[in-house]
Structure 1
Amino acid sequence: MQRLLQQFIGNRWQPSHGERQLVVINPYTEERIAEITAGHPADVEAAVQSARHALADWSQKNGAERASYLEKIADGLSRRREELSRLSSINNGKILEEARLDLDDAIACYRYYAGQARDLDRRQGQPVTLDMPGMQAHSYQDPVGVVGLITPWNFPLVTSAWKLAPALAAGCTVIFKPSEVTPLPEQVLADIITEAELPAGVFNLLFGDGEGIGAPMSSHKGIDKISFTGSNRVGETIMAAAAPGSRRVSLELGGKSPVLVLADADVNEAAEYVMAGIYFNAGQICSATSRLLVHESLADALYQALGQRIDALRLGNPLADDIDMGPLTCARQRDTVLGYLTQADREGLSAVRDGRQRALPKQGYFLAPSLYRDVPVTSRLWQEEIFGPVLCGHSFATEEQAVALANDSDFGLAATVISGDPGRARRVGKQLQAGTIWYNSPQLVLPETSWGGFKRSGIGRELGPWGLSAYLEVKHMVGPIV
C-alpha cells in the first residue's frame, strides 16, 4: 500500500503539514491501496510562495520554449501509457479500454496546447484597425498569474490536462489539487514534470481534501485564478470564497444532457449512440445524455433495443479484456445512485431495466444499468444529475416539443441529436441550449473544440483556443503613429 504523505512543491517532495490521513480504495477489490495526506493550509502557503517565485521567469519565456516542455510532458505520458491506464483502472474502476482512451485524450491535449503556445508568440503585438487618424493600437496577451487547479475523480489525467496544458502554455504557474479519491494516476505527473526539467515552482502538486487543501486554495489571496471541475455545490462555494479580491474563476459543473431521437432515426443506430452516451464510465460523466427524448413512433422499438443491449453488458474486473463496465468509483457514489433508484420506486416509475434486479459481481461497488421509460418531467430522476448508469426516457410528438423538453433544464452542458437526415439533425441541434452538441455521433471531445456549458453547467470554456484564453489577460497599447 502506498503512503502519499508528501507534497510536490518547487520540484521536491516535502512532508505535508497535515496530520489527518485519507484512505484510497480500489473500487473493484474494495481493498486499501494507498493512504494520502488530507493536506493543510500551510501546504497551500508553501506552494503559493513557490509558484509566485517562479512566475516572473516562466511568464517571460516565449511560447516556443513553453511548448517544448508541453511536448516533453506528452512524451512522458506516451511512454507510460499502459502503466498509467492500468493505474487509472485500479484507482477509478473504469475498464481498461476507457482508461486507454483517457490517456490518448490527455496526450493529444498537451500536444495541442504546445501548438497554441507557439501560435501565441505570433499573435503578440497584433495591430488593431482604428477609425481615428494618427493613432495606432496593438494587442497583447499576458498570463493571468498563479492559478489553482482542482479536478474531480471521474477522469484522472484528462481533466488535469485540460487545465494544466493551457495554463502552462499561457505562462501561468500552477498549484494542482487532484481528487483525493483518485490521486494515484495524477501522482505520476510529478515524475514526468521532473523528467521534463520544468523549472522549479512552475508546477506544484498538493494532495488533500476540501478542508485541507481545496478551501485554503480557493480563498488564498496569492492565487490569481481558480479553475474547478466538479459539483455545483462545491463550485458555488469556491466562487464565493474567491470573490474577495475579485479573483477569477472558471467552473465546469453539472449536466443533465438530453439525447433526441427523431422520427426518421434508425433504431439500431440510435440505440448504439444512446448506450455510449449514458453507460460509458458507468455513467459517471458530466455530459452523460441521461435524458432520452424519443419520438413516440419509435419508443417501443428503441426501448426493446436498449433493453437487449443492457442485458448484453458484461460487468466485472475492469482490467479484464472481456468486460464492458466496471464498478462505480467509490461506495459513496454507488450509494448515492441507489438512493435515486429508491426514489424511482417512490415515484412509481416504469423500469425497462432495474439495476438492482441483476446479479452483480460478489465484490466491488457495482451497479447495473437502469432504464426508465415515460418518466414525468417533474420527477427528481428527470431533473437532477445522478452521475451513474441511470437513463430516463420520455416521448414526444413533434420536433418543437422535443426542443422545448430538451431545453427545459437548469443545465446546458451537452446534447445529442440522432436523425436519418444530417441536415435536420444540425438544424435541431442549433436550437438546443448546450455548449457541445453531437449529431449522429458518439460523444467525441476534441482538443480543438470548446468544452463548457450554458446555465448552471458552469462559467467559461476549456479546450480549443478558448481554453488558452481562460488563462490570459488582454491588454492594448494605444498611442500616436510616429
Structure 2
Amino acid sequence: MTITHETPAFATRSHGHFIGGQWTPAASGRTLPVINPATGGEMGSIAAGDSADMDAAVAAARSAFEGEWSTWTPHQRRQLMLRVHDVLLENFDELALIETLDMGAPLARTQGLREWTSQVLQFFASQTDAATLSSPPNNLPGDFVTLRSLEPVGVVGGIIPWNGPLIGLWWIFGPALATGCTAVLKPAEDASLSVLRIVELMSQAGVPDGVVNVVTGTGAEAGSALAEHRDVDRIAFTGSVGTAQTIVRASAGNLKRLQMELGGKSPDIVFADADLDKAVPGAAMGVYTNSGQVCVAGTRILVERKVHDEFVERIAEFTKSVRVGNGLEPDTQLGPLISARQLERVQHYIEVGSSEAELVAGGKRIEGEGFGGYYVEPTVFAGAHNELTIAQEEIFGPVATIIPFDDREEAISLANATPYGLAGGLWTQNLGTAHKVSKAIDAGTVWVNCYGVLDPSIGFGGTKMSGYGWKGGREHVESYLYPKAVYMNLD
C-alpha cells in the first residue's frame, strides 16, 4: 500500500456548525463520529444538530438577507464569487484530500474536480446580472409605465447527499450568491467535512456573516427541521424519493418553492453498430464511477442481442481489471462504499441478483490487509430482464445489470419501463439512431457515445419519479428569483 499523504488537521477535529460566520456547538451538546470509509476508523466528530440549531441558522440567514447583503450590487457579488474561486483553488489539494478521507472517492477523482469547481464558480459568477429590470409595453388605458424585475426569493435551504459534497454544495451556494439569496445547508452526516472547510474558506474570502450557514446532523433531526422551517423560502434537495415525498409534505406549511433531484435506474443502450472499444469501458464506468454511488449511474445496460454475448464477455473482463482500493493509493480506480450500512445494502442486492440472473464478474466483499473499510467488487449480472429487482430498484453501488434487446423499438420500451427519468445513454455510430433514441428516452439528460459528462452552464435534471427542477444553466439561477411587476400611473 503506497500512501504518503498526511491527514489534514481539519479532518481530525471536533467540528461545530457554521452559523452567522461563527463555529457553534450543537445546542444539545451532542456529536456524531466522522468515519473514514477506507478503514472503518473514527477520525473526528461533527455537531449533531436539531431544530434549535436550525432555528439559529435560519435566523442568521434571514438577518443577513434583510441586512447589508441586500444592498450589494451584482458587480460586488460577482467580485466576491471570483475571490471565493481563487481562495478555493489555492486550497484545493487540501479539499480533495479531505473529501477522499471523508467519503472514500479516489484522490484522482477528487483532485480532478478542480477544473469543474473552477467552471461552476465562474459560471454562477457570470449570472449575477440575472435579476434584470425591464419596462415592457402595456395595454392599459391612460399613462402607465410598467416595470418587471426578478427578486431573490430569500432564505434557501439545501440538503445534499454524501456521494459528492465537494460538487453538491455549489448547486446551492452558487445560485444563492449570484442572486443575493442566503443559504442554510444540511450536508449528509456521513460526509460533511469538505463542506465545513469550504464555508470556512468562503468566510476568509469575504462572504458576509450569515450569507452561508451549515448545520450538520442527521436527516431525521436537522434535515426535517430545515424542511419544515416556516422562515425558509425554498428547499433544494438531492436524495431519495421517500425523503423527497416527506419534504414535499413538510413544505406545505409555508408553500416553499422546491427543487428535487432524486433517484434513477438509468438505461445505457448499446446498439450492434457501436464501437465496443469505447462502449465497453464507457458503459462500465457509467456504472462504477464513484463506486456506483452516483444518481445518474447507467446501471441498466441494454445490449442489442447481435453483440450481447461479446459485450458480456468484454465487460466481465474489463470489470475484473478495475483496481479497488484505498482512495489515497495512486492506482485506485474505485474506493470503498460510504458506510457499513451502504455496504450491507449493496451486498443484499448482489445476493438477490445472484438468485435472479447470472453473475459473470465480481459479487464479493473485499476484505483482508489494507481493506478494513467498506469495499465491494464491481459486479456484473447478465441473462437479466427488465422486471427483476436488480433492474428496477436503485442499488447505489457498482452493480451492472445487462439486459438484451432485439430492435430499436424494444430498446426504447425497455429504457422507459421504469418509474425514474433522471438520465440515460446510448452507443451507436448511426446518426439517425442517436437522434431518434435520445429524443425518445424519458430522461432529463441523455448521453450519446459518452456517459456522465456535465457542463454547469448547461445543467441537468430529471422527470417522472426522478424529481423536478434544473441544476445549472440560466434556469437554475432564475429559480432562486421570483418575478415582480410594478404599475406606475403617471396621470
TM-score by length of 1: 0.95
- Give the direction of change, closer, same or farther, for the CA distance of 1:427–1:480 in structure 2 (3 Å limit): farther
Distance (whole Å) between structure 1 residues aligned to residue 407 and residue 269 of structure 2: 11
**Does the aligned pair in 2 maintain the 1:422–1:440 contact within 8 Å?**
no
Pair 1:351-2:359 in alignment:
yes
Deviations 1:294-314 (A, max 9, x none): 111011111111111111111
Q: 1:30 touches 1:364 (CA, 8 Å); kept in 2? A: yes
1:138, distance to aligned residue in structure 2 (A) = 3.5
The answer to whether the 8 A contact 2:188-2:219 is kept is no
Amino acid at match of 1:47: A
Q: Which residue pairs with 1:64 in the alignment? A: 75
> Offset at 1:60?
3.4
Indicate whether 1:6 and 2:16 are aligned. Answer: yes
Counterpart check, 1:403 vs 2:412: yes
Structure 2 residue 167 is matched with structure 1 residue 169? no
Q: Tell me if structure 2 keeps the 8 A contact 1:422–1:439.
A: no
Does the CA contact (< 8 Å) of 1:106 and 1:162 recur in 2? no
1:285 alignment partner AA:
V
Residue 245 of structure 1: CA displacement? 1.8
SS at match of 2:331: coil
Equivalent runs, 1:276-295 vs 2, <5 Å: 276-295=285-304
Tell me how far apart the structure 2 counterparts of residues 206 and 453 of structure 1 sit (CA, whole Å).
27
- 2:154 match: 145
Q: 1:42 — aligned with what?
A: 52
Equivalent in the alignment of 1:106:
117
- Counterpart contact for 1:146–1:224, Cα < 8 Å: yes
Mark the runs of 5 or more structure 2 residues left unpaired by the alignment. Answer: 1-10
CA drift of 1:394 comes to 0.8
> Shift of the alpha carbon at 1:106?
2.5
1:243 aligns with 2:243: no
Instruction: Describe how 1:9-158 pairs up with structure 2 within 5 A.
Output: 9-56=19-66, 57-117=68-128, 119-120=129-130, 124-128=132-136, 137-158=146-167
State the 1:479 CA deviation.
5.1
From the superposition, tell whether residues 354 and 311 of structure 1 become closer, same or farther in structure 2 (CA, over 3 Å). Answer: closer
> How many angstroms apart in 2 are the aligned matches of 1:68 and 1:264?
50
Q: Quick one: structure 1 residues 279 and 131, their matched pair in 2 at CA, closer, same or farther if it must change by over 3 Å?
A: same
Query: Which has the higher mean CA deviation after the structures are superposed, 192-201 or 353-362?
Result: 353-362
Asked if the contact 1:60/1:171 (under 8 Å) is kept, the reply is: no
Q: Runs of 4+ in structure 1 displaced over 6 angstroms?
A: 131-134, 357-360
State the number of aligned residues: 478
- Over the aligned positions, Cα root-mean-square deviation in angstroms equals 1.9
- Decide whether the 8 Å contact of 2:92 with 2:111 is kept in 1: yes
Q: 2:219 — aligned with what?
A: 210
CA contact (8 A) 1:268 1:302 kept: no
Query: Are 1:368 and 2:388 matched, yes or no?
Result: no
Contact between 1:218 and 1:242, CA under 8 Å: does it hold in 2?
yes
Identity of aligned residues (%): 34
| Aligned 8 A contact 2:320 2:362 in 1 | no
2:271 matches 1:262: yes
- Are 1:74 and 1:108, in contact at CA under 8 Å, matched by a contact in 2? no
Q: Is the 8 A contact 2:25 2:47 kept in 1?
A: no
- In the alignment, the residues of structure 1 paired with residue 269 and residue 149 of structure 2 have an alpha-carbon distance, to the nearest angstrom, of 43
1:431 aligns with 2:440: yes
Shift of 1:28: 0.9
CA distance in 2, matches of 1:391, 1:345: 12
**Deviation at 1:264?**
1.3
Tell me, yes or no, if structure 1 residue 184 matches structure 2 residue 196.
Answer: no
Q: 2:260, 2:467 within 8 Å by CA — same for their partners in 1? A: yes
Pairwise CA distance, 1:31: 0.9
Contact 1:59 1:143 in 2 (8 A): no
Q: 1:5·1:16 contact (CA, 8 Å) conserved in 2? A: no
Deviation at 1:480, TM superposition (A): 6.1
Would the alpha carbon gap of residues 5 and 293 (structure 1) be closer, same or farther in structure 2, given more than 3 Å must change?
Answer: same
Please tell me the residue identity of whatever aligns with 2:48.
Answer: A
Secondary structure of the corresponding residue to residue 328 of structure 2 = coil
CA contact (8 A) 1:413 1:436 kept: yes
CA gap of 1:63–1:311, structure 2 versus 1, over 3 A, is: same
**CA distance in 2: counterparts of 1:145 and 1:434, whole angstroms:** 30
The equivalences for 1:411-426 within 5 A come to: 411-426=420-435
Deviations 1:393-441 (A, max 9, x none): 1111111111111011111111111101244312210111111111112
**TM-score scaled to structure 2, two decimals?**
0.93
